A = this chain, B = another copy of it.
Amino acid sequence: MGMTIKDIAKKCGVGVSTVSRALNNHPDINPETKKMILKTVEESNFVPNNSARNLKRTDSKSIAILVKEIDNPFFATMMRVMEKKIRRQKYSFFIQHMGKDQDEVDTALELIKEKKLRGIIFLGGDFRKNKERIAKIKVPFVVSTAAFDKLPEKCIASYVSIDDRAESRKIVDYLCETGHKKIAILASDKKDENIGKLRLEGYREALKAHGLEADEERICYLDEEDTTYSMENGYRMMKKLLKKETEFTAVFAISDLMVIGACKALLEEGKRIPEDVAVAGFDGLDYTGFYQPAITTMAQPVEEIARQSVGILFDMIETKKSQEGKYLPATLKERESTTGGRRTWKQD
């Protein structure tokens, strides 16, 4: 039913390669000819090869990105980077979003069965348990922004992430080195076995290295009923901490969303940041730089994680071999919320 590129060429009285040049924005074509060809394409049923190539659903050239709940604030940025890189490789891709109650391994197995995928990128998720079932995933996959201790042997798999424990230790180290001895933390819930746990461990390690004790009174856990790293939860936790009248001169929140809520609570109670309480977050969300005061944070190399995840996936598709998981370094963004600093805000 649809027209082919040959039909278009014939209709326009030009060669197929000329049509192709018009469609691909090639500079080497007469502008009038190009215009005429594009008009013909516009009026026809023909879907240009250009988009056909990008999107063609030959199931054998398809990559799925599986997202478990979109509470990863980097989601949009990572999508954008991955989309570009995957398309450049002439693979099609789509995003599969899962609900809280859906199992990522089941979802992956189902997609592989129905779609004959070439590869999968998991955006977050828990790959430390369920090893047996994970081993059933027979296509190469990369876990992005989370790590696992040991690669399942039967899998072709890898991960790209930051070292959450080490980077968390670094930012708490920084707080210690700037003179703080009473550092509170807004942590994850007590049952957390993933990044929340690692970031709390980093906090404990840093205090220990500086000869400080981790006072349980200064560790605020997320409620197990609602474990989202949200501004609202950060706000509530800080309000609660302030009521306890536990002494602290600095607070570290394990996520930037939580730190923004915590700042609101502090400012509302008349605390000055950082004169009364220094504040640091984790993740590197843009918002932290625009907050008043700008908030110190440990920034994840989000774009680089996305780029390398795709790169490693393509490598594994080619070699059919697992790759060692990879930690990328995070960057400490030192800002007014810990330095005081002048009012002249400089973008970093």
Q: Is the CB of B292 within 8 A of A264?
A: yes
Q: Does A26 contact B (CB under 8 A)?
A: no
How distant is A239 from chain B, measured CB to nearest CB, in Å?
Answer: 11
**A270: chain B residues within 8 A (beta carbon):** 343
Q: Does A274 contact B (CB under 8 A)?
A: no
Q: Does A179 contact B (CB under 8 A)?
A: no
Q: Is the CB of B75 within 8 A of A110?
A: no
Q: Does A83 contact B (CB under 8 A)?
A: yes
Q: Does A142 contact B (CB under 8 A)?
A: no
How distant is A263 from chain B, measured CB to nearest CB, in Å?
Answer: 7
**A344: chain B residues within 8 A (beta carbon):** 268
Q: Does A45 contact B (CB under 8 A)?
A: yes
The 0/1 profile, CB within 8 Å of B marked 1, for residues 120-159 of chain A is: 0000000000001100100000000000000000000000
Q: Does A106 contact B (CB under 8 A)?
A: yes
What residues of chain A have their CB less than 8 Å away from a CB belonging to chain B? 2, 42-43, 45, 47-48, 51-52, 54-57, 69-71, 75-76, 79-80, 83-84, 87, 94-99, 102-103, 106-107, 109-111, 113-115, 132-133, 136, 231-232, 235, 260-261, 263-264, 267-268, 270, 286-287, 290-292, 343-345, 347
**A95: chain B residues within 8 A (beta carbon):** 94-97
Q: Complex formed: what's the CA distance from A41 to B99 in Å?
A: 21
Q: Is the CB of B264 within 8 A of A110?
A: no
Q: Is the CB of A263 within 8 A of B287?
A: no
Q: Complex formed: what's the CA distance from A287 to B268 in Å?
A: 16
**A132: chain B residues within 8 A (beta carbon):** 42-43
**A96: chain B residues within 8 A (beta carbon):** 94-95
Question: 6 A-B residue contacts at CB 8 Å?
Answer: A51-B102, A54-B102, A70-B75, A75-B76, A94-B96, A292-B292
Q: Complex formed: what's the CA distance from A347 to B264 in Å?
A: 11
Further pairs besides A47-B106, A94-B96, A267-B343: 16, Cβ < 8 Å: A43-B132, A47-B109, A48-B106, A51-B102, A56-B114, A70-B75, A75-B75, A80-B99, A83-B97, A235-B290, A261-B290, A263-B292, A264-B345, A270-B343, A287-B287, A292-B292
Q: Is the CB of B347 within 8 A of A133?
A: no
Q: Is the CB of A45 within 8 A of B136?
A: yes
**A98: chain B residues within 8 A (beta carbon):** 83
**A76: chain B residues within 8 A (beta carbon):** 70-71, 75-76
Q: Is the CB of A231 within 8 A of B83?
A: no
Q: Complex formed: what's the CA distance from A98 to B48 in Å?
A: 16
**A55: chain B residues within 8 A (beta carbon):** 106-107, 110-111, 114
Q: Is the CB of A290 within 8 A of B231?
A: yes
Q: Which 9 A-B pairs have the closest CB atoms?
A: A57-B114, A95-B95, A70-B76, A51-B106, A55-B110, A94-B94, A264-B290, A231-B290, A267-B292
How distant is A269 from chain B, measured CB to nearest CB, in Å?
Answer: 9
Q: Which of A2, A136, A290, A345 has its CB near the most chain B CB atoms (within 10 A)? A: A290
Q: Complex formed: what's the CA distance from A249 to B287 in Å?
A: 25
How distant is A250 from chain B, measured CB to nearest CB, in Å?
Answer: 19
**A48: chain B residues within 8 A (beta carbon):** 106
Q: Please pick, from B45, B110, B267, the residue contacting A47 in the complex, using a CB distance under 8 A.
A: B110
